[in-house]
Structure 1
Amino acid sequence: MATFILVHGSWHGGWSFDLLAARLAAAGHSVDAPTLPGMGGSEEELRAVTLDGWTDFIVARCRAARERGQGPVVLAGHSRGGIVITAAAERDPEAMDALVYICAHMLPSGLSRADFAAQSPRNAAFAAIVSPTPGGAGTVVDPEGAHAVFAQLSPPEVTESAAARLLAEPNAPRDTPVFTTPERWGKLPRTYVECTEDRVIPIADQRRQQALSPGARVVTLEADHSPFFSRPDELAAALISAIP
C-alpha cells in the first residue's frame, strides 16, 4: 500500500485525476488529488498565487500523508505540476519517497517553465487556444479547442465534461525558476511517464527535459497530454511501478 499525492497541470483541478484515482484506490492505495489554491480565482486571487505558496501546500499534504503512515508517499505531477513537485521535493525530500512526472515539466535547476518554452519551437496549435484573463494575472483556455490539443485520443464524452471545468491559471508559477540540488531533489527516485502523442508538451520537448535532468526511469505511453483520460489503466500501472 502507498499514498499517491497527485498534482494537476495548468487550467485543471484535482478532478482531472478521478479516473486514475479510482484505479489506484481499487488496487489498495490511498490517493490525495487536491486542486491548487487560487486556481480559477479573481484577478486579485490569481495575482496572489506563487510557486512558493503552492510548494508549501503540497509539502504539507505530503507530510500529512507521512504522519498517517499509509505506506510510501509517491508525489506525482502532470504537466505544469512537474515544477510544483520538483520544488516540493527540494523543500522537504524527507516528506516523500518517490517522484513521478506525467508528461510534465522536469526542468534543470535555475530554469522556469517560461524559460523552457522560450527555448522550444513555437507550438502554434497550443498557443491558439490560450488567452490572457481580463486583468492579465493569468490565462484561460478556449474549451472548444481543448479536446484537439489536450486530449485528442481520449473519449470525447469525458473531455467535453472536462473542458467545461477548466479554470483560469495564474502566471507567477510559470515565470518562477526552480532550483534543485543533488542532495535534496536529486536523491529521490524519479519516474518520467512520457506520452508520445502529446500536443501540449511534444515528445521532443519531454525527451529534451529528460536529457537536461538525467536519472529518471522512463515509462512510455502511446497517449495524448491527458493520459489520465486516454490511458488510465496504463498510467495507474506506471504509478504503481514507481513505488519504492
Structure 2
Amino acid sequence: MTTFILVHGAWHGGWCFDRVTALLRDAGHDVLAPDLPGMGGSEEELARVTLQGWADFVADLCRAASSQPVVLAGHSRGGIVISQAAEAAPEAVGALVYICAMMLPDGMSRASFRASEPANAAYDGFVSPTAGGHGSLITGEDPEKLFAQRSPPDAAAAAMSRLVAEPEGPRLTALSLSPGRWGSIPRTYVECTDDRVIPLASQRRMQALCPGTRRLTLAADHSPFLSRPHELAACLIASTPETRSAAPA
C-alpha cells in the first residue's frame, strides 16, 4: 500500500482528482487530495498566500501520512508546490510525479519560465486579474476548449464551473531547491500530448531543464484526470518506489 498525495493546479481544488482518487483507493492505496489554503479567497486572503506556505502545508501532510514515504504528485501549477514541499521534507517523499506540471529548476519561477516561452494567446485570453490584483480568474466562454477539449463534455463543463480565484504570489516566487534534498528524490513527468495550456514543447523543455526525470506519455489534454483517469492512475502506480525498483532495466 502506498499513500498518494495529489496537489491540484491553478484555479482548481482537490475535487479535480475525484475519479483518480477512487481508482487508487480501489487498488488498495491511501489518497489525500487537499484544497490548498487560500484558494478562492478574498483579496486579503489571496495576498497572504505564499509558495513556502503552500509547501509547508503539503510537507506536513507528507510527514503525517499513514505510510511513508509518500508519492507526491502535482498537476500544472501544483508542480512548483510539490517541488518546494519535497525540498522541505525529502525524508517523507519517496517519489515525485509531475502531471503536465511546472517542473522547474532552482532559481526559476513560474512567471520567469513563462516569460521565456512563446506567447500562448489562447491561454492569455482566458486569464484575468482579480479586482485587487492579488489573484487571477478564468473568464470567457467555454474554457473547457482550452483546459479539457478531450474530456467528456459534461465532466469538463462541470469542472470549469468550479474554478476559483488563484493567488498571484506563488507564481512569482523563484524555487529554492538543492541536489541533496529535492534532487535526491526519483521524479516522473507525465506529459500530455494535446495540452493547450502547457504545450508539449514546454513540457519537454522543463524535462530538459531537470535531467534525470523519467517520462511517461498520455494522449490527453490538460485535464488527464478527466480525459484519461484510468491511464493517469496507472502512471501514478507505476511511479511508486516499489514499482520502479521492480521494473526491468
TM-score between the two structures when normalised by the length of structure 1: 0.97
CA RMSD, Structure 1 to Structure 2 (Å): 0.8
1:232 corresponds to:
229
2:156 corresponds to:
159
Within 5 Å, give how 1:131-146 maps onto structure 2: 131-142=128-139, 144-146=141-143
Structure 2 residue 165 is the aligned partner of structure 1 residue 205: no
Task: Give, in angstroms, the shift of residue 145 of structure 1.
Answer: 3.0
Task: Give, in angstroms, the shift of residue 92 of structure 1.
Answer: 1.3
Give the aligned length: 241
Distance 1:90 1:72, change over 3 A: closer
Cα separation, 2, equivalents of 1:119 and 1:229:
29
Cα separation, 1, equivalents of 2:68 and 2:2:
4
Residue 214 (structure 2) aligned to one of 201, 214, 217: 217
1:24 corresponds to:
24
Asked if the contact 1:72–1:243 (Cα under 8 Å) also holds between the matched residues in 2, the reply is: no
Within 5 Å, give how 1:82-231 maps onto structure 2: 82-142=79-139, 144-231=141-228
Task: Give, in angstroms, the shift of residue 144 of structure 1.
Answer: 2.6
1:211-235: CA deviations, max 9, x gaps? Answer: 0111111000000000000000000
Code of the residue aligned with 2:240 in structure 1: it is I
Code of the residue aligned with 2:25 in structure 1: it is A
Asked if the contact 1:143–1:164 (Cα under 8 Å) also holds between the matched residues in 2, the reply is: no
Structure 2 residue 56 is the aligned partner of structure 1 residue 59: no
Specify the SS of the correspondent of 1:144.
coil
Task: Give, in angstroms, the shift of residue 142 of structure 1.
Answer: 1.8
Identity %: 63
Task: Give, in angstroms, the shift of residue 143 of structure 1.
Answer: 6.1
Deviation above 2 Å: which 4+ runs of structure 1?
none
Asked if the contact 2:144–2:156 (Cα under 8 Å) also holds between the matched residues in 1, the reply is: yes
Distance 1:21 1:101, change over 3 A: same
Specify every segment of 5 or more residues in structure 2 that has no aligned partner in the other structure, as ranges.
242-249
Specify the SS of the correspondent of 2:85.
helix
1:100-132: CA deviations, max 9, x gaps? Answer: 000000001100000000000010000001100
Asked if the contact 1:158–1:229 (Cα under 8 Å) also holds between the matched residues in 2, the reply is: yes
Cα separation, 1, equivalents of 2:229 and 2:146:
18
Specify the SS of the correspondent of 1:145.
coil
Task: Give, in angstroms, the shift of residue 95 of structure 1.
Answer: 1.3
Specify every segment of 5 or more residues in structure 1 that has no aligned partner in the other structure, as ranges.
none
Cα separation, 1, equivalents of 2:171 and 2:49:
11
TM-score between the two structures when normalised by the length of structure 2: 0.95
Specify the SS of the correspondent of 2:136.
strand
Asked if the contact 1:129–1:145 (Cα under 8 Å) also holds between the matched residues in 2, the reply is: no
Cα separation, 1, equivalents of 2:121 and 2:19:
30
Task: Give, in angstroms, the shift of residue 96 of structure 1.
Answer: 1.1
Cα separation, 1, equivalents of 2:160 and 2:222:
14
Cα separation, 1, equivalents of 2:25 and 2:16:
15
Cα separation, 2, equivalents of 1:155 and 1:143:
20
Cα separation, 1, equivalents of 2:226 and 2:210:
27
Asked if the contact 1:101–1:191 (Cα under 8 Å) also holds between the matched residues in 2, the reply is: yes
Asked if the contact 2:68–2:92 (Cα under 8 Å) also holds between the matched residues in 1, the reply is: no
